[in-house]
Structure formats: structure tokens, C-alpha cells
Structure 1
Amino acid sequence: MTGRYDSATLDTLAENAKRDSYVVLKDHLPKDTLRAWADAFQPLLKNHMEREGHLQNRGSGRFYVTLPFDTPFADPAIFEDDDILGIVERLVGREPVMCQLATDTPIRGSDFQEIHRDTPSLFPELSYETPMYQLAVNFPLCDVTPENGPIEIAKGTHMMPRDEALAKVDSGEIPLEQVCMKLGDVMIRDVRHLHRGTPNTTDTPRPMVVIGYSRRWLFRPEVSIKVPRAVHERLSDRARHLLRFNQVVESLDQVEQGEKYQAFAF
């Protein structure tokens, strides 16, 4: 795989992410691949809504669904993308860990989420924030418009103590800004920034994929990827190293059903 961007451009993109808490790569992933993901995702969402939809732990009309690490979702062309990993490594260091492959999907009836972060601070007793340690790589399986539930982000709040950041958002000093995306766009973000999901007022679900990457020493037990042995055997050495904290299973049929990642807002 060969990236689209040279080293200097990746440096600039990473610096923009450090400043704003996120950066968007426009028209980066192949649309036909993402349309295949969208088709394969539809029955997963339906099954999840029937089995666990009553929990509503992400808010009314909003669902978190882990993707099975198999065709079409176990795609090295996406999770080993040289540009994405180039930015990830500039933000969280060499040898990152891939810890999450899932989706967030609002449907009609969803509402505004409470403003939140996706992870607590490493050291909440400090009066300042540490450099980045947990990233979400997000890409939609459809166009994200103002009508179908774009994320709203308060730029730069990832490097502020939570209470200070909330005060600046509440006062209007730092606005919440909608981030609309086209199919093929990719967002790389620090999950500590203050943000919220917005209502999907359309009749079509709006799935957003999240691939989590952490610093090399960080293990998050509440999120995980179960890697079937047959898939693991055909992965590159780099992919196996990215997935090194995840369990290899004989078959996904052996994986216990039910989402474990319930507490998500901090």
C-alpha cells in the first residue's frame, strides 16, 4: 500500500489534529468498498436493534454495533492505510494498538446527546491534559448531512480540563461545530474533545464506523476485536502487530453475543 500524502503533508495534518483535536481526509477511501460495508451492515443493525435496542445506552434511537472481524470489514486496505497510520503514529507514537472496530448509528427518533468525552483523562487529578493517547478513526457509510445526525465538536477542548472546557462551551466562547462528511471522507480525532451526536431526522440510518487506535501500552478491556484464526493467518505482520492485544478465536460463532462497551460518556 502506498499513501497519497508525503511526509511533510502528514506532518501538517497531524499538527492540525493536535491543534483542533481532529482532522478530516477528504475523499480518502474507495466508495465502492464502503457501499459493500453498508450493505453488509444492514442486517447487523437490524439484529442488534431486535436483540439489544431496548438498552438505548447511547441515547434514544442511537445504536453502537461492533463489526465482525471478517469479510468485508477485516480489510487491511482500510485499517492498514498508510496515510491513516502515518497520522496515527504522529499523534500517539510508534507501534499503536488497534483496539476497536464498530459503528455508531442514529435513526429517526434520535435526539441530541449530552455533551461528553469518550474517555476519562489518564490523570484527572492534574490541572492539565496529557498528549494524545486514544484516537478514533471515523468514516461514514453514507453521506453525513445536517439532517441525518452529524457530530458536533468543540475544537481544541481535548487539551483542557473537562470542567474548564465545559464552561467555555456553555458560555459560547468555544462553539460546537457540526462536521458533515461525504462517503469516502475519514476523520481522525482525539476522543477527549467535547462533542455530541445530533438527531437523525431522516428515514435512513446513518452508520459511522469507528476504528480505535491507542498508544502501544494502552489496553482498553471495554472494547475489543475478536479475530478469527483463519483471518489472523492471512494478515500481514504489521496487521497482526496492530491487533496484538485482541483475542484470536477459532470462530466468531464462539463469541458471546452482546455489546460490552456500555459506559461511553465522560
Structure 2
Amino acid sequence: MAERTAAIKAAVEKAAVEKAAVEKAAVEKAVAEKAAAEKAAAEKASAEKASAEKAAAEKASAEQAAAEQAAAEKAAAEKATASALPAGSASSELQTTSSAPAASATDGYTLDFGTFVLKSEMAGIKKKIKNAGMKPVVEPGPKRKEQMSRIHVGEYTEQKAAEKMLQKLRQAKAEHFMLQDKTGKFNVYAGSYFDKVGAVDEQLRLAGFGITTELRPMSVQVPTFNLTAGSFKSEEAAARKGAELEKAGVKPTVVQRHK
């Protein structure tokens, strides 16, 4: 009887210990999942903040460039008009004459939404432009130096060996290109990334195909894209449309359209 009681007691204690262990594991798992979620949220917020700051800086740069261009063109038009007038002309005549070339140098106004490096950055803005009943216009902008992470796969003295590696990258469905340096060697790359995290992810993916790579930071001249929309006869009309878009979460700048 005593042995049976002891056995039952031991079984109850064992069950209690196992239950406590399960509950502890569940709590630890919940804590770990919460920490991971908080970390992911913090990283996402940081990335969104960086993206917003970059967009604001690009827009400010584009606005300054547009203002400087407009001022330079205005000064050039006034200078050309002044040199064409005969000596002794009245100042009132100068003002009347100089106003004509300035008007002919422009073709109304448009809304400028900034300069972008990636077309994907414009997707949300283009959608809002279309919702406002306008057609977004994307044109080539000036080239700009950007820091990128380039995935270096290998350096080869023979082009045939480099092309063999390119074929391996194609099979892995990776970006691929080859550059020949000043010494005549062929360097094979598996893409260039603005986002270093994305480059590291691609390195890990390629490692699964047995492709060893090295990450190389580089300053690269990249093309940019200017995004504009609308054609307005007056600055006031353009400003009204700009205010409408601002309510939709986009803040364009009114600029003169030059012929």
C-alpha cells in the first residue's frame, strides 16, 4: 500500500514538473517571438525613415536646381534683350521689350515631383498622379554618384573562364555582368545593390549553388529619373492642382516648362 502511494506521489510530481517545463518553454517562446517582432518593427521604421529622408533630400536638390536654371535663363534673356537695344533707349522701353523674350522662353507650368534613382520609388506617386486625372511623365535626369554594394564573383585572366562563370550565374537566376579592368583581367559580378542587406541575402542564396562571392562597396555613377505631370497656362492653376495632390499625400513643386 505504501509503495503504491509513493508511486502515485512520484507520478503526480513528475507530471507537475513536466507541466512546469512546458509552460516555461511556452513563455520563453512567446518572449522570443515578441522580441523578434519588435526588432522587425524597429528595423522597418528605421528603413522607412531613411527612405523618407532620402526622398526629401532629393526633392530639395531638384527644387534648387530648377530655381537656379530658371534664374540663369531669365538673366540670359534680359542680357540678350539689353544688348539688342540702341543706345539711349528709355528704361520703360527696355522693360517692355525684355518681357517678350522671357514669355517666349517658357511654355506654361508643370508639377515637379522630384528626381529618383529607382523607378520603383516612383510607383506610389505615379498612382496618386493618375488618381488625380493626370498622366505622369518620366524623363532621364542627371547622372549621380551613389554608394552601392557590388557582389564580386571572381577575377579571370581568360574571357572564356569568365563567361563560364556567367553561365553558372544565369543558371542560378542571378544578375550577372562582366567588366574588364585596366590590366586586361575580366571581373564577374552578380549584381549591384543600394541596399546592403539585399546584397548579403543574395550572397547567401548564391552560396547554396556553390558560388562563393565577395561584397565590394563602390561609388557608381547611376542614371536618375525626373517625374513631372500636368501642363498649366498659369502658375496659379498649377498651384491649385499641386494643393489637391498635397492632400493626397504628395507635395509637388510648381516649375516653368521651358521650350
Same fold (TM over 0.5): no
Q: Which category describes the TM-score, using the shorter chain as reference length?
A: under 0.3
TM-score (normalizing by structure 2)? 0.25
Greater strand percent: which structure? 2
Greater helix percent: which structure? 2
Structure 1 or 2, whichever has the larger Rg, is: 2
